[in-house]
C-alpha cells in the first residue's frame, strides 16, 4: 500500500505558504519505519541509516532519537550527521575511491573507515598505521531494480573480490592495522529476502574461512518499499528469521561469540515518509500524445531520469475536470527531452492549476536535487505527529544562486 498523508486541502495550504514544488514529510511514518526495523531484528542486527537517502538534519535528529546509527559516504555527510546529534561512534564511513584527505578527516574524528579496494587499504595504512579499519567485499552477485543500482557482482566498481583475501591480510600486517569489521552491499530495492540472505551467507562463509576475531559484520542495505500499486511489502519478519538462522550457524564455529551484526537501510526508512507536491502549468497535445507540464523538473526529482523509476502520482484537484484526458505523459520544466516524470500514465482528467502529488518521495529526492537550468531547489516541511507543520529547509532564492561567486 502506498503511503498517503496529504489531501487536496492540506496540499493547497502548504503550497500557498511555502511555494511549489514542495517536499513534505511525515514524522509519524518516519518513526514507524525506524521501529519496524528495530522490532523485526530484535537487537540481533542493528540498523544503521544510510544517510545518502535523505540528509535533512530534522529527519536525521528523529532517526537518531529512534536509536539508529548512521552510514556516511562523504565528509559532508559526516559534518551534517555530527551537527544532527550523531557521535563519531554512531557513524560508519563507507567511501569509495576517496582521497587521503577524506580518510584523514575521518581518522582525526575517531570515525571508523571502510575501504573497498586493495589500493585504498594501502593508502589508509600509510595514513593511519596501527589503526582500526573495515573492508568492503564484493560477494560476486548483486541485486537491484536496474543495473545502475546493483552494487555487487562482476560489473560494478564496488568492493574487494574474496579471491584477494590473502592480499588484504598482507596489507593489514604490513601496516599493523586491526581489521574490526567487514561489510558488503549487493544492490537496492529488493522486495524478497532471498538475494540478501544468500549474499549474507556467502559473506559469512568467507569470514569463517579467512577472518577470525572481527568485532562486527555489516550485511548492507537495499531493503525495498512498494512503489507500484499492488506490490508486496518486504516481509521483515521472514527476512529476520532467515538471517537469524544463518547467524546462529555461523556463530557455532566462529571464534568471537560477541561479534555484532549490522544492516544499512536508507530507502526503507525515509522513502514512504515523503511526498513531493507540484503544480500543473500546461496541458497540451503534441502529435496525438497528451503531455501534462508541471514544475517538478528533474532538478527536483532525479530518480525517473537516472533509473527509469516508478512513482505513483495523484492529481489533487478541488474541482471536477471533464476534459476527457485519460492517459498522459507527465513532464517537468527543464530544457531536456528526458525530463519525464511518468510516461503514458493513466491519470484521469487534469487541468492547469491542479496539484500533483508524487508518492514515496522521501528517499533520493531532495538529496539528489540540483540547480540545473538555474532552477531553484524547493523547500522541505515536516508534519509533526501532533499535526503541526514546520519548515525544515528553506527554498532556494535567486540570490542564493550567486552565493558562492
212: CB partners within 8 A, 6+ apart:
254, 255, 256
Give the containing element (helix H, strand E) for 124: helix 118-127
C-alpha to C-alpha distance for 298 and 130, rounded to whole angstroms: 46
Burial class (CB in 10 A: 0-12, 13-18, 19+), 38: middle
Backbone angles phi, psi at 206, to 5 degrees: -65, -45
| Secondary structure tally for the chain: helices H, strands E | 11, 17
3-state secondary structure at position 368: helix
Residues catalogued as catalytic: 335
Residue found under cell 557521535: 87
Exposure on the CB side of residue 302, measured as CA atoms within 13 A: 14
Give the containing element (helix H, strand E) for 133: strand 132-136
Q: Is 324 left (phi over 0), alpha (psi -120 to 50) or beta?
A: left
Here the contacts of 99-108 (C-beta below 8 Å, separation 24 or greater) are 100/127, 102/74, 102/75, 103/127, 103/128, 105/75, 105/78, 106/75, 106/78, 107/131
CA triple 189-195-197, angle to 5 deg = 115
Query: What is residue 148's DSSP assignment?
Result: G
Amino acid at each position: 500500500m502506498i503511503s498517503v498523508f496529504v489531501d487536496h486541502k492540506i496540499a493547497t495550504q502548504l503550497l500557498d505558504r511555502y511555494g511549489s514544488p514542495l517536499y513534505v514529510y511525515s514524522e509519524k511514518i518516519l518513526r514507524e519505519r525506524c521501529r519496524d526495523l528495530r522490532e523485526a531484528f530484535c537487537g540481533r542486527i542493528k540498523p544503521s541509516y544510510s544517510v545518502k537517502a535523505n540528509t535533512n538534519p530534522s529527519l536525521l535528529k528523529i532517526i537518531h532519537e529512534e536509536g539508529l546509527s548512521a552510514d556516511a559516504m562523504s565528509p559532508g555527510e559526516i559534518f551534517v550527521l555530527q551537527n544532527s546529534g550523531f557521535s563519531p561512534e554512531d557513524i560508519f564511513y563507507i567511501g569509495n575511491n576517496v582521497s587521503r584527505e577524506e580518510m584523514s578527516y575521518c581518522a582525526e574524528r575517531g570515525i571508523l573507515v571502510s575501504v573497498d579496494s586493495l589500493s585504498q587499504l594501502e593508502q589508509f595504512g600509510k595514513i593511519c598505521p596501527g589503526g582500526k579499519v573495515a573492508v568492503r567485499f564484493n560477494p560476486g552477485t548483486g541485486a537491484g531494480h536496474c543495473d545502475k543500482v546493483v552494487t555487487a557482482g562482476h560489473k560494478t566498481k564496488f568492493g574487494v573480490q574474496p579471491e584477494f583475501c590473502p592480499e588484504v591480510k598482507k596489507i593489514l600486517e604490513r601496516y599493523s592495522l586491526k581489521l574490526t569489521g567487514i561489510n558488503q552491499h549487493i544492490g537496492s530495492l529488493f522486495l524478497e529476502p532471498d538475494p540478501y540472505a544468500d549474499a549474507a551467507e556467502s559473506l559469512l562463509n568467507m569470514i569463517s574461512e579467512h577472518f577470525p576475531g572481527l568485532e562486527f559484520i555489516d550485511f548492507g542495505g537495499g531493503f525495498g518499499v512498494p512503489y507500484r500499486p499492488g506490490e508486496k511489502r518486504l516481509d521483515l519478519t521472514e527476512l529476520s528469521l532467515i538471517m537469524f538462522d544463518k547467524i546462529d550457524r555461523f556463530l557455532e564455529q566462529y571464534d568471537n561469540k560477541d561479534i555484532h551484526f549490522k544492516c544499512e537501510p536508507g530507502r526503507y526508512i525515509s522513502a514512504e515518509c515523503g511526498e513531493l507536491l507540484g503544480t500543473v502549468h500546461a496541458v497540451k497535445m503534441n502529435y496525438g500524445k497528451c503531455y501534462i507540464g508541471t514544475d517538478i523538473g528533474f532538478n527536483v526529482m532525479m530518480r525517473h531520469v537516472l533509473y527509469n523509476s516508478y512513482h505513483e502520482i495523484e492529481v489533487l484537484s478541488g474541482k471536477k475536470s471533464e476534459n476527457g484526458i485519460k492517459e498522459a505523459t507527465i513532464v517537468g520544466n527543464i530544457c531536456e527531452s528526458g525530463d519525464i516524470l511518468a510516461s503514458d500514465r493513466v491519470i484521469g482528467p487534469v487541468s492547469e492549476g491542479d496539484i500533483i502529488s508524487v508518492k514515496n518521495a522521501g528517499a533520493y529526492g531532495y538529496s539528489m536535487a540540483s540547480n540545473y537550468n538555474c532552477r531553484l531547489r524547493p523547500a522541505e516541511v515536516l508534519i509533526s505527529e501532533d499535526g503541526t507543520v514546520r519548515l525544515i529547509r528553506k527554498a532556494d532564492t535567486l540570490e542564493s544562486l550567486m552565493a558562492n561567486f
